Amino acid sequence: SQTIHQWPATLVQPVGSPLSLECTVEGTSNPNLYWYRQAAGRGLQLLFYSVGIGQISSEVPQNLSASRPQDRQFILSSKKLLLSDSGFYLCAWSQINEKLFFGSGTQLSVL
Amino acid sequence: GENVEQHPSTLSVQEGDSAVIKCTYSDSASNYFPWYKQELGKGPQLIIDIRSNVGEKKDQRIAVTLNKTAKHFSLHITETQPEDSAVYFCAAHLPLRDYKLSFGAGTTVTVRA
């Protein structure tokens, strides 16, 4: 069966520090991978998605970047965090035109 | 357009009563409509989905209906229990945009004991 791992679960970072969130998927190959952000009490905002290694599409202009160094690994990064980067970050995967499955999320607080 | 509208934003029901959440979509090419349940501090979990060749689908106490002509679909939870309290999101596929999902804004459901 397929599983998705996302870490860390919580993260507190000072403004201006770098960020790296990692997500891996097991039990499937060539998945579509996604990073979503959820502000407190708000909906799901798609940040990035990837249909293959090295292929990244950005949905919204922002302070963050994403990379896919391996087929089942998706990384969300920032060189310098802003206060507005705080939120709940969710990694997700799907096969094309199939169900979308989310990871457990990372609660990021930028202070 | 790609918008998915979801109503209501909050819903409080007495335990044992039914809860209904409604969504409308604008992209007539959409053909897949999932529903997610998100508990506090956790990732959304897929609870039920429906494809456009089906009008209704049931799974125990939850059901989803789809009216493709009117471009709306609904989630029905019967005999609600306290563990049904969560935020629920509807979504619609966007076939012309790499099959990404467009999500509704969410409904916070509270089941009163």
How large is the average pLDDT for residues A66-86? Answer: 96
Residue B12 CB neighbours (<10 A)? 13
pLDDT of residue A59: 85
At B2 the pLDDT is: 60
Spell out which residues of chain B touch residue A90, defining contact as CB-CB under 8 Å: 43-44
For the stretch B3-61, pLDDT in tens is 899 999 999 999 999 999 999 999 888 989 999 999 999 999 999 999 988 899 999 99
A105 touches chain B (CB under 8 A): yes
Distances (CA, A) of A108 to A13, A15, B44, B78, B86: 8, 12, 17, 36, 21
Contact residues, chain B, for A97 at CB < 8 Å:
32, 93, 95, 99
Better pLDDT: B97 or A48: A48
A58 touches chain B (CB under 8 A): no
pLDDT at B81: 97
Any CB–CB contact under 8 A between A90 and chain B? yes
Average pLDDT over residues B78-86: 97
- pLDDT computed for residue B53 by the predictor: 82
How many residues does this entry show for chain A?
111
Indicate if the pLDDT at residue B1 is higher than 50. Answer: no
Of B41, B49, B106, Cβ closest to residue A43:
B106
Beta partners for residue A76, in sequence order: A21, A66
Question: In Å, how far are A27, A82, A99, B13 from B49, measured between CA atoms?
Answer: 22, 37, 9, 23
Comparing alpha-carbon positions, the chain A residue that sits nearest to B40 is A41
Distance CA B95, CA B88 (A): 23
Work out the percent of chain B whose per-residue pLDDT is above 70: 98
Number of A/B CB contacts below 8 angstroms equals 48
B41 vs A contacts (CB less than 8 Å): 105, 107
Cβ–Cβ contact A5 with B under 8 A: no
User: Is the model's pLDDT at A33 over the cut of 60?
Assistant: yes
Mean pLDDT score across all residues of chain B? 93
| pLDDT of A73 over the 60 cut | yes
Quick check: A46 contacting B, CB < 8 Å?
Answer: yes
All residues at 6 or more sequence positions from B17 whose CB lies less than 8 Å from its CB, including other chains: B80
Residue B87 has pLDDT above 80, yes or no: yes
Distance (Å, whole) CA A54 – CA A20: 17
For A95, half-sphere exposure in the C-beta direction (CA atoms, 13 angstrom radius) is 7
Rounded to the nearest 5°, which phi and psi values hold at B53?
Answer: -90, 5
How far is the alpha carbon of B50 from chain A, nearest alpha carbon, in Å? 11
Alpha-carbon distance of A92 to B91, in angstroms, equals 14
A88 vs A94: CA distance, rounded Å: 20
Contact A49 B100 (CB under 8 A): yes
Give the highest mean pLDDT range of A38-42, A98-102, B12-16, B99-103: B12-16
Residue A2 has pLDDT above 90, yes or no: no
Q: Distance of CA B7 to CAs A43, B10, B75, B108, Å?
A: 13, 8, 11, 10
Checking if the pLDDT of A82 tops 70, the result is yes
> Which pLDDT belongs to residue B84?
98
- Nearest-CA distance A99 → chain B (Å): 8
Phi and psi at residue A53, to the nearest 5°: -55, 130
